């Protein structure tokens, strides 16, 4: 494979309930510090304290945008800075922006909809039209940061940011763009959204065998470019995204990604997946377990057990976690609320452990049974 055909991660940005910089996020991961709290109206949630979000926006700007756009801003600015990328007239049209989001901006519009119902059209802020829809961050960030290249928003439930990153890799490998900022953002912590997700079975407030994952808000953005470009700029490379695969069957998505990369199950050092206490992830692990058969199983990590189900941002957050694992060559401990759960023989840890980690498999499944697998490799 030529260097220009290789897509690598060169910048990281994040905002979650367990950290609003990569350093804070990593420190929470290795200490298994949970960002889940209890809200009297919303139940268990992963909410970010406003004062910790490094968005850099003025009060006037904040009045025009929803919270998920604000989180996108914070993560995007970090990713660009982390990559040492300066967007200017020379490269702005060769820099793209791809964002995954599932729900849009209900924290901005929900209260106003109640007022509209009780009153009349004068209750609606004029910025509702540009603040609530899923592609709002794409437009606002492109304008504010001067990104002029191909941009797109992906809405595909929990796979939203996965699709954004998959398409970003395609654009890089085909040399359509030099740089792509890609990831996902979600801010679903409102009464209407929470009740909708409960009714759809996405989350549950009931205690049962499969304690449903707490709902969380968050964003993660990655700076992507070709290996050749990264080498030319002499910048840090966190990981190479080798391949992605999508299927209605978790086993088939893993088989596809292994076939395309020429890798083997036995070569995978770590699997990052959704919270195994969530029923669909529990069932997915059963199928993965069947694939391994007599092969020794790798370690298992779940970021969502600490920061909650971040819906469309989930896969981007997990890729960022994988990049930090490669960088630090340490495996974070298993979340305390997973220790008593049977993990089908996958390795779990009670404390952070140094290890040689060169290949990581990400597996995510949405509420409709669609599965995406992403294979990442450490670049030496």
Tens-digit pLDDT profile for residues 267-290: 999 999 988 877 788 888 889 989
Give CA–CA dist 332/193, Å, rounded: 31
CB neighbourhood size of 267 (10 A): 14
Considering 202, 233, 264, which residue would you say is the last residue of a domain? 233
Considering 209, 233, 257, which residue would you say is the last residue of a domain? 233
Asked if residue 198 and residue 78 are part of one domain, the reply reads yes
Q: Helix 106-118 crosses helix 191-200 at what angle (to 10 degrees)?
A: 100
CB neighbourhood size of 289 (10 A): 14
Q: Which of 272, 263, 370, 278 is nearest to 314 (CA)?
A: 272
Q: Which tokens belong to 261? A: 């990369």
Considering 200, 233, 266, which residue would you say is the last residue of a domain? 233
Give CA–CA dist 288/305, Å, rounded: 19
Beta-bridge mates of residue 239: 9
Q: What is the pLDDT of residues 170-228, one digit of tens each?
A: 999 999 999 999 999 999 999 989 888 877 766 665 554 444 568 999 999 999 999 99
Give CA–CA dist 351/193, Å, rounded: 35
Asked if residue 221 and residue 247 are part of one domain, the reply reads no
CA distances from 379 to 4, 6, 13, 357 (A): 15, 11, 19, 11
How many folded domains does the chain comprise? 2
Q: Kindly report the pTM of this predicted structure.
A: 0.95
Better pLDDT: 357 or 192: 357
Give the structural domain span for 320. Answer: 242-377
Asked if residue 56 and residue 118 are part of one domain, the reply reads yes
End-to-end CA distance of the chain: 16
pLDDT for res 147 = 97
CB 79 within 8 A of CB 10: no
């Amino acid at each position: 494979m030529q260097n220009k055909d290789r897509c690598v991660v060169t910048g990281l940005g994040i905002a979650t309930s367990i950290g609003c910089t990569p350093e804070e996020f990593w420190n929470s991961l290795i200490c298994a510090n949970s960002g889940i709290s209890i809200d009297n109206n919303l139940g268990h949630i992963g909410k970010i304290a406003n004062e910790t979000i490094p968005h850099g926006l003025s009060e006037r700007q904040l009045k025009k945008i929803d919270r998920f756009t604000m989180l996108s801003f914070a993560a995007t600015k970090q990713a660009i800075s982390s990559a040492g990328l300066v967007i200017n007239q020379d490269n702005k049209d060769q820099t793209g922006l791809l964002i995954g989001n599932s729900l849009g901006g209900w924290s901005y519009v929900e209260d106003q909809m109640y007022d509209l119902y009780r009153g009349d059209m004068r209750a609606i802020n004029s910025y509702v039209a540009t603040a609530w829809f899923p592609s709002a961050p794409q437009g606002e960030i492109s304008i504010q940061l001067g990104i002029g290249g191909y941009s797109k928003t992906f809405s595909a439930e929990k796979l939203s940011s996965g699709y954004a990153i998959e398409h970003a890799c395609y654009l890089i490998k085909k040399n359509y763009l030099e740089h792509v900022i890609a990831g996902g953002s979600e801010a679903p912590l409102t009464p209407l959204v929470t009740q909708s997700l409960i009714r759809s079975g996405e989350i549950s407030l009931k205690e049962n065998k499969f304690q449903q994952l707490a709902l969380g808000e968050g964003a993660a953005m990655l700076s992507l470019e070709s290996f050749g470009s990264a080498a030319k700029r002499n910048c840090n490379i966190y990981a190479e995204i080798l391949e992605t695969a999508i299927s209605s069957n978790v086993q088939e998505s893993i088989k596809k990604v292994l076939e395309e990369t020429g890798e083997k199950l036995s070569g995978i050092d770590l699997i990052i997946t959704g919270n195994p206490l969530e029923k669909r992830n529990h069932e997915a692990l059963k199928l993965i377990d069947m694939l391994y058969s007599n092969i020794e199983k790798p370690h298992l990590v779940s970021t969502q057990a600490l920061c909650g189900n971040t819906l469309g941002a989930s896969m981007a957050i997990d890729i960022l976690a994988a990049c930090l694992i490669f960088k630090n060559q340490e495996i974070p401990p298993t979340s305390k609320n997973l220790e008593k759960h049977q993990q089908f023989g996958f390795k779990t840890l009670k404390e952070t452990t140094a290890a040689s980690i060169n290949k990581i498999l990400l597996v995510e499944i949405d509420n409709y049974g669609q599965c995406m697998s992403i294979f990442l490799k450490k670049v030496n």
